[in-house]
């Protein structure tokens, strides 16, 4: 006797149009801009250039809280595009992805460690520890996260191809919950710590969530839910981090946890941001990539986004070293100016590097 499987519980099939859409390129550009803004405003939030609870701090805190989705959205985009079951063996996948992520990982790990030794005077033991932890710079952990997820992708494709959608939602939710718990347990003295080999594991839930959300039909209801999730998650992040900082009397581990990419409030805001970026990008960039001036511009900026992510911290800190950063309210204007200048210089630098044969593979 044949037993019909309910549509919602059938294994997830490959999407009918597997090529990247223009809204994803738009989402990459938006996430890249958000990353630059977060790093530009972070010294104010951590009270280096602003007093906790003051006007400048609140301005930076609101901006930062509203942009915590930046890295999760990058991970979700990767999962949405790469977990599609396809005719590609593991060896072929690894060869192609090593060229895309492996070379930049090695080159920029070395580059940032050498730069920090020159700029900050870090020693060899500190550099080795940073590399072993998978965080040779404040932003390069992302390469280690993506590299680890790539290692599992051929096997996760099999899971996606043969697991009912309901099961995948449970899998994504469980892994996100475990990631949040892992981050929370690190608040206990003497507990926690990650290495270059394990840094990707807490982000597995985002990777799966990207696939599920990319293959969920858009609609007015999903946009409303996405907006509600984004507003609620962002508000809870801002309020929670402020409460934790005020309770401790300083910006400390509790506030950092609320800000963390795996805190429940940021997970909620990131899922909402993904939906909103999809809706906004679909409206802004209609048709196929390159169909018009907006599409061509977005496609060009999207192609430069990884390179900008890699170089922007070096550019931003160099600009700060040259220009300095005032304290108080003026620091807000300075942070915005540095963000704009960093984005412009980074884009120009990466565009030039992509024209040089030996440098093209690094960005």
Q: What is the DSSP string of 138-203?
A: TTTHHHHHHHHHHHHHHHHHHHHHHSBHHHHHHHHHHHHHHHHHHHHHTTSTT-----TTTTTGGG
Nearest alpha-carbon partner for 246 in 62, 51, 85 = 51
The number of C-alpha atoms within 13 Å of 269 and in the hemisphere containing its C-beta is: 25
- Structure tokens of 221? 């209801």
pLDDT at residue 291, rounded to an integer:
60
- Among 83-87, 249-253, 313-317, the range scoring the smallest mean pLDDT is 83-87
Phi and psi at 198, nearest 5°, equal -115, 0
Q: List, in order, residues 6 or more apart from 324 with CB less than 8 Å away.
A: none
**pLDDT at residue 296 is higher than 90:** no
Q: Helix (H) and strand (E) counts for the chain?
A: 15, 0
Mean pLDDT along residues 161-179: 92
How far is Cα 331 from Cα 35, in angstroms, rounded to an integer? Answer: 18
- For residue 280, give the H/E element and its range: helix 264-284
Task: Give the Cα separation of 28 and 337 in Å (integer).
Answer: 22
Three-state DSSP state, 11: strand
pLDDT digits (tens, 9 = 90+) for 135-154: 889 999 999 999 999 999 99
Q: Which of 138, 132, 124 is nearest to 199 (CA)?
A: 132
DSSP for 131-146? HHTT-SSTTTHHHHHH
- Decide: 114 and 159 in contact? Cβ < 8 Å: no
Lowest mean pLDDT among 36-50, 106-120, 165-179, 278-292: 278-292
What is the model's pLDDT at position 131?
87
Query: 265 near 258, Cβ under 8 Å?
Result: yes
pTM of this structure: 0.90
Split at pLDDT 50, 70, 90, the class of 290 is low
pLDDT given for residue 66 in this prediction: 97
pLDDT tens digits, 303-359: 999 999 999 999 999 999 999 888 888 999 999 999 999 999 999 999 999 999 888
* Distance of alpha carbon 191 from alpha carbon 354, whole angstroms: 43
- Mean of the per-residue pLDDT values of the chain: 88
Place of tokens 């009918």: 16
Domain range summary for the chain, segments of one domain joined by +? 20-231+260-360
* Cβ-contact 56, 332 below 8 angstroms: yes
Q: Is 142 exposed, middle or buried (0-12, 13-18, 19+ CB in 10 A)?
A: buried
């Amino acid at each position: 006797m044949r037993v019909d499987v309910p549509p919602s519980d059938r294994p997830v099939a490959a999407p009918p149009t597997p090529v990247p859409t223009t809204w994803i390129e738009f989402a990459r550009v938006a996430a890249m801009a958000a990353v630059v803004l977060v790093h530009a405003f972070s010294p104010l939030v951590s009270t280096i250039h602003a007093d906790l609870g003051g006007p400048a701090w609140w301005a930076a805190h609101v901006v930062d809280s509203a942009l915590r989705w930046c890295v999760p959205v990058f991970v979700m985009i990767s999962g949405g595009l790469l977990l599609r079951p396809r005719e590609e063996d593991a060896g072929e996948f690894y060869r192609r992805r090593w060229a895309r992520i492996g070379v930049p990982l090695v080159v920029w790990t070395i580059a940032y460690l050498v730069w920090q030794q020159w700029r900050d005077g870090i020693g060899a033991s500190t550099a080795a520890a940073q590399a072993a932890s998978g965080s040779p710079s404040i932003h390069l952990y992302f390469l280690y996260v993506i590299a680890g997820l790539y290692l599992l992708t051929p096997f996760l494709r099999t899971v996606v191809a043969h697991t009912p959608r309901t099961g995948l939602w449970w899998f994504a939710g469980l892994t996100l919950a475990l990631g949040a718990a892992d981050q929370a347990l690190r608040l206990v003295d003497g507990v926690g710590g990650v290495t270059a080999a394990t840094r990707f594991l807490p982000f597995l839930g985002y990777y799966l969530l990207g696939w599920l959300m990319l293959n969920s039909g858009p609609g007015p209801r999903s946009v409303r839910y996405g907006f509600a999730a984004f507003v609620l998650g962002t508000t809870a992040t801002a309020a929670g981090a402020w409460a934790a900082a005020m309770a401790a009397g300083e910006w400390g581990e509790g506030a950092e946890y609320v800000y963390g990419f795996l805190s429940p409030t940021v997970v909620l805001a990131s899922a909402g941001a993904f939906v909103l970026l999809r809706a906004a990008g679909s409206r802004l960039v209609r048709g196929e990539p390159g169909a018009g001036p907006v599409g061509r511009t977005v496609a060009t900026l999207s192609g430069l986004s990884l390179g900008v992510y890699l170089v922007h911290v070096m550019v931003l800190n160099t600009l700060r070293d040259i220009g300095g950063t005032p304290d108080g309210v003026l620091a807000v204007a300075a942070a915005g100016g540095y963000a704009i200048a960093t984005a412009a210089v980074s884009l120009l630098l990466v565009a030039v590097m992509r024209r040089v044969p030996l440098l093209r593979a690094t960005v």
